[in-house]
Structure 1
Amino acid sequence: MKSKIILPLLLALATSGAWAHGDVKCTKAPKTEWKSHEELEQKLTKEGWQIRRMEATTSCYEVYAKDPKGKRVEAFFDPVTFARVEE
């Protein structure tokens, strides 16, 4: 019974674009101009973020965290300016 509910839900999510963040573009600057992810982590922590994990994509820093309001988020930041980039 559960599989009859879960499978359609998973298929809907997979085709909805909910996981399609591959086209987020943050910067065209070379990596030699990027600030360190440690600097971004310090900045976000001071702002009240609780960082779980950070990754560098081809043009962004991808942050998995709780924002200052306590909401779990996956956020993208420009590695040169640290401006948040919306998907």
Structure 2
Amino acid sequence: MTRLITPRRLACVAAAFALGLSAPAHADGNVKCESGPPAKWQKIDKLKKQVWLEGWSLLKMQVAGDCYEVYARTDNGQAIEAFFHPVTLKKLVVYRRGQEIYRADGFKG
């Protein structure tokens, strides 16, 4: 039996493919920043300039555990997920498509 590719089936496949390409990379969620109490953290809005200086287009910023988590696109359009220390705003680790592409020297989290 041959399966026909109906317009509806084609649209569903195209939508699923588009969602897969546009979704940011997801890390394993085990990043620990050891950042101390939130009262000592810098405001997350201060991170926007740093993301811009990296040459990234910001998609979303949020608190993830005791880290700041950034979803962005690089200057060549690749989706990334990055974690920053909330006190120092130091970039700690960056993932692309679930693969680690950057880790700060000495960062174990």
The two structures have a TM-score, normalised by structure 1, of 0.66
1:80 aligns with 2:87: yes
Residue 11 of structure 1 corresponds to none
1:24 aligns with 2:31: yes
Residue 43 of structure 2 corresponds to 36
Structure 1 CA distance, aligned partners of 2:68 and 2:61? 7
**Residues paired across the two proteins, number:** 71
Residue 49 of structure 1 corresponds to 56
Structure 2 CA distance, aligned partners of 1:85 and 1:38? 18
Structure 1: tracts of 5 or more residues without a match? 2-17
Query: Runs of 4 or more off by more than 3 Å in structure 1?
Result: none
Is the Cα contact below 8 Å between 1:27 and 1:59 reproduced in 2? yes
1:19 deviation in Å? 5.0
SS at match of 1:81: coil
Q: Greater helix percent: which structure?
A: 1
1:84 deviation in Å? 1.6
The share of aligned pairs that are identical, in percent, is 39
1:38 deviation in Å? 0.5
The two structures have a TM-score, normalised by structure 2, of 0.55
* Rg larger in structure: 2
Is the Cα contact below 8 Å between 2:55 and 2:74 reproduced in 1? yes
Q: Greater strand percent: which structure?
A: 2
Is the Cα contact below 8 Å between 2:35 and 2:67 reproduced in 1? no
